[in-house]
Every structure is written in C-alpha cells, then in structure tokens.
Structure 1
C-alpha cells in the first residue's frame, strides 16, 4: 500500500507549497527564544527578555484571528505581503532598539508589532489544503501531516536559534528568523496555483 503522506505530496503543486510553508513558519518557533537570548546578552536580564518575548506572543495570539479573517475576505497574498513588510520593519526597529539601548518601551512596542505581524503561513497552508483537497479522502491526511510539520518546526526552530545566538553573534538567531520569514513568505505567496479564491 502506498504511503498516504506521499500521495498527498503528489497533489498538483503541493510540494513547493509545503517547502515554502516550512521555511515561512520556522520563525514562529524562533523569534521568541531568539529575543530572550538577544536581550539577555545585551542587558543581562532574562526577565526582561522573557517579558518582551511574552508581549510578542500575546500580540501574535490577538492578531491571528484578525489576519485570518482579512485573508479570507481579501486573499492570502493580498494580506501576506503587507503583513510581512510590517514584520520586517518592526523587526529592524526591534534590533535597533535593543542594540541602540533605546528606552525599554520601544523594545516592547517593536516586539509587540513584530509579534502581531508574524506571517501566518501555518494557518494559511491549512486553508490551501482544504481548498485543494475539498471532498477528498486525502484531506485528513494532509491536515495530519501539517500537524506533524508544526511539531517538527517547534523542535528544529529553538535548537537552530539557540545555536546561532550562542555560538556566533547574539543577533544571529533573530536575524536568521526574520530572514527565513521573508524568504518563506515570499515563496509561499508566489504559489498562486494553490491559493484559494
């Protein structure tokens, strides 16, 4: 019997979509820990780093449903590209605020804005699978595969960001996370054939 996951990946245009989404969602598991490690390196305070990371996590949770509704109403690409732009600008502001010893409120504000605008690739790919496989017996397999990929992301991402932040420059982990978000989101947005109407 053929592997059901391989059958799902053989769906037309699925493999590039899955690879782009994997890259695009890695930052979700990297930004928080990377921020803690960066701030602790700069200030010596893990408490401040944890509070800043928590701010980003809360704004991600609050903004997620709003971004999802916006994408449902206007299309994924229409939402993903401006959200990514704000995420990158907020990330640059966050790095500048931390490295430039700006007032603490600017660190929280930029981290919160970046958290609110982290590209929602993980939820968008589930909508794409539902669009591609609507009515197919393969849809539950595709969604199960996405759950496995999410778990894998949350295993690989923290290890990668910790390695980068502690063996090189402290900013390496966060910069890599933002770079992966940009690359993955742009590649994902380019997958026009899988985008639902």
Structure 2
C-alpha cells in the first residue's frame, strides 16, 4: 500500500528531498523580495513590476531548455553552474537595490539574466523520485508529497520575506533567496541519488501509458521509444488550463472582496484555496487509484472548472471561501497527475524536460489568466468572469472523452473474443 512513510524510507530519500526543498524555498521568497527591493530602491512600482515580469518571463520560457541540460549531463554537472550563476546574479541584484541610484535598465537586465539561470530543482527532484521509489503506486504517492510540500513552500516563502523586511532592508530577502538556492542545490547534487544522467534499459519506460496494441512512438536520443517526442500533450494542456484558472482567480477574489467592502478578506479566501489544495494532494497520494491516470486528470480538471464556475455565484465572502476551498481540492491532484503522466510518457533521458514543460504551462497559464482577467474586471459581471476563468479547465477536461470511450469499449471486445472462441470450438 502506498504511504508517505514508505516514500521517505529508501536510503537517501529524506536527505535528497530535504535538500531540494531548501533550494525550492528560494522560489517562494524571491518574487516578493525582488518586487519589494526594486520598489524600495527606485520608488517606482512600474520598475518593480517590469523587473518581476522580465524575471518571470525568462525563468518560465527557458525552463525546458535548462531541464534538457539536466537530462543530458545529469544533476551534478548541470545544476551546479546554473545555481552558481543564478545565486551570483541575485546577490548582485541585492547589492544594486540596497541603495537608491542604480540605473533602471541595469536592474531590469539583471532581473532578466537571473531568471534565465533559474535551476530546475522541482523537475529534477521529480525525476529523482523515480530512482528512489520506482514502484508505480509509491511514485504517485511521492509526487503527491512533493506537490503538497511545494504548495507549503509558496505559503511559507512570503511569511519569511515579511519577517526579514521587518528587521532588515528588502534587498536582504533577495540575498537570502540566493543563499537558499545555492545551499539546497549543493546538498541535492551531493546525494548519491543525483549521480549521472538518468538511464534505463532499452524498451518502453516503466509504467508506459500507451494502450496495448498502439503503435510505438518516435525513438528518443537514448534509443528508448517515447510517445511524446517533444512535450507531453495532455498534461501540458491541462496544466495550462489549471494555471489560467488559478491566475484569474487571484484577481477575481480581490475584485469580489472589494465589491463586498472587505479587501482584507482576500488573504483568508486565498488561504482556503491553498488549504484545499494541500488536503486534496494528501488524499490523492494516500489512495490506490484504479482509474487510468489520463481519465483522472481530465476529471480533476473538469471538477476544478465546475467549482470555479460555482464560486462566481457565491452571495457572500464566506461562501466564496468555501467554494475556493472546494476548488483547491482539485488543484494539487491535477498537477501531481500531470507530472506523473509526463514522466511516464517521456523517454528516460527526457523526463526532467517533460516535467519542465508541465511547470512552464502552469506558470505561463497563470500569467495569462491574470492578464486576461485584468482586462475583463470592471467590464464584465463578476459571475461571468468566474465562468470564463473556469472555461480553460473545463475544456481541458474534455480530454476525458476519448479515454472514456476506450474504457467503455474494452468489455465489449472481451465478450466478442469469448464468443468467437466458443463458436470455433463447436465447429
């Protein structure tokens, strides 16, 4: 039976996972720290927003490229140079924003360069989980634990930044982010699990999700046939839909709280979303699922979309908080299942890259959802805005239809085979 204790029991599992979490905590602290530091140094929200946008754009768009280096050269040879350059640029940014007077173009250029070097610690850790727990059920449990921990890091990160800015300048948060990623990366790559690129024997990867009798996919660089030569289609599409929905939801909650005259309520409504996501992720990892992963993913996306559409009908903020908590139940399981399908669909030497595509889809979708809702709010009724935000998740859930068709046809195929066998015996 899958359990979180079993996931952490293999040798080096706790050490490797703990090291990855230390490094990934940097991603929970760097965004707010960078915005506060640039605003404090320049006095301009516009420059702070521009620097953060450039940092996020280069980080998200180049994520699959950086992950490809990890696949090719292994975590030790690829992550250390990335983390070193990333940490160095963050320290330079911290120094540049410590006092006013740094030219805005230089701050923007440093932010863009730092984002380009962000080490893919999340996709790398998900690849390393397969080495630690190759069993299918334990791997899904490990991915759920990983997703829940990441959710908590993004809650703890801003709290840590708040504590730092209370006793030091905002640039201290940028410097601490650099030290966290460097310490976590070094601890991660020194684990015996991180030695060398990921390799498996030729043939389909373990847990290959291709239906029986389907034609083989293109041959990957290592001679292993993979259904997805470039990027895993269904999990990337669903992850983008989830990202669009969540990115739009943040702004819609702000607008709804302002409409009710309680702007401070935004914090606990969004906290309800995170709490629901944590609960959903823990339950998802503790259950042995029998339904196909692709079907589960599509249904989870549809559940998220329906919950968000219903949230638009909430008459008050407590009901809105309950609706967002319900929507949160689907978030972590949907992302966990997306990463799992991407891992199982890719060739062994492309798994980090496949996970990075899912990561990129979530982050790019979130940015796009925020931008789209920013245009709609004030022009369209809020209930309709919620429905439009839910639409991408609902549409991505339509990918369940082909899977349902295959599942419903399987019993009929078996019955036809048995009937044919019986008639042959009589003749």
- TM value normalised by structure 1: 0.92
1:122 Cα deviation from its structure 2 partner: 1.1
Q: Deviation per CA, 1:122-180, whole angstroms, max 9, x where unpaired?
A: 11100000232224420000001110011011000111112212332222211111111
Contact 1:83 1:117 in 2 (8 A): yes
- Map 1:55-70; keep pairs closer than 5 Å: 55-70=54-69
1:117 Cα deviation from its structure 2 partner: 1.2
Uncovered stretches (5+) of structure 1, i.e. residues with no partner: none
| Structure 1 CA distance for aligned equivalents of residues 167 and 48 of structure 2 | 19
Contact 1:64 1:120 in 2 (8 A): yes
Contact 2:85 2:117 in 1 (8 A): yes
Uncovered stretches (5+) of structure 2, i.e. residues with no partner: 199-427
Helix, strand or coil: the match of 1:99?
coil
Contact 1:39 1:98 in 2 (8 A): yes
Q: Which moved more, 1:187-196 or 1:173-182?
A: 187-196
In the alignment, what sits opposite 1:25?
24
- Map 1:32-47; keep pairs closer than 5 Å: 32-47=31-46
1:102 Cα deviation from its structure 2 partner: 2.6
Contact 1:132 1:194 in 2 (8 A): no
Helix, strand or coil: the match of 1:138?
helix
In the alignment, what sits opposite 1:141?
141
Q: Deviation per CA, 1:86-117, whole angstroms, max 9, x where unpaired?
A: 11221132223333623211111111111111
In the alignment, what sits opposite 2:73?
74
In the alignment, what sits opposite 1:113?
113
| Structure 1 CA distance for aligned equivalents of residues 2 and 139 of structure 2 | 14
| Structure 1 CA distance for aligned equivalents of residues 192 and 53 of structure 2 | 34
Contact 1:38 1:165 in 2 (8 A): no
| Structure 2 CA distance for aligned equivalents of residues 107 and 136 of structure 1 | 46
In the alignment, what sits opposite 1:169?
169
| Structure 1 CA distance for aligned equivalents of residues 131 and 17 of structure 2 | 14
Q: Which has the higher helix share?
A: 1
| Structure 2 CA distance for aligned equivalents of residues 36 and 142 of structure 1 | 33
Helix, strand or coil: the match of 1:10?
coil
Helix, strand or coil: the match of 1:169?
coil
- TM value normalised by structure 2: 0.44
In the alignment, what sits opposite 2:271?
none
Structure 1 runs of 4+ with >6 Å offset? none
In the alignment, what sits opposite 1:192?
192
1:3 Cα deviation from its structure 2 partner: 7.6
Against the structure 1 CA distance between its residues 53 and 166, is the aligned structure 2 distance closer, same or farther, given a 3 Å change threshold?
A: farther
Q: Report which structure shows greater RCO (CA 8 Å, sep ≥6).
A: 1
| Structure 2 CA distance for aligned equivalents of residues 136 and 12 of structure 1 | 18
In the alignment, what sits opposite 2:52?
53
1:194 Cα deviation from its structure 2 partner: 4.4
Contact 1:26 1:181 in 2 (8 A): yes
| Structure 2 CA distance for aligned equivalents of residues 40 and 166 of structure 1 | 16
RMSD of aligned alpha carbons? 1.7
1:78 Cα deviation from its structure 2 partner: 0.7
* Count, aligned residues: 196
Structure of higher CA gyration radius: 2
In the alignment, what sits opposite 1:126?
126
Against the structure 1 CA distance between its residues 169 and 96, is the aligned structure 2 distance closer, same or farther, given a 3 Å change threshold?
A: closer
| Structure 1 CA distance for aligned equivalents of residues 11 and 23 of structure 2 | 20
Contact 1:94 1:110 in 2 (8 A): yes
| Structure 1 CA distance for aligned equivalents of residues 4 and 25 of structure 2 | 21
| Structure 2 CA distance for aligned equivalents of residues 115 and 78 of structure 1 | 20
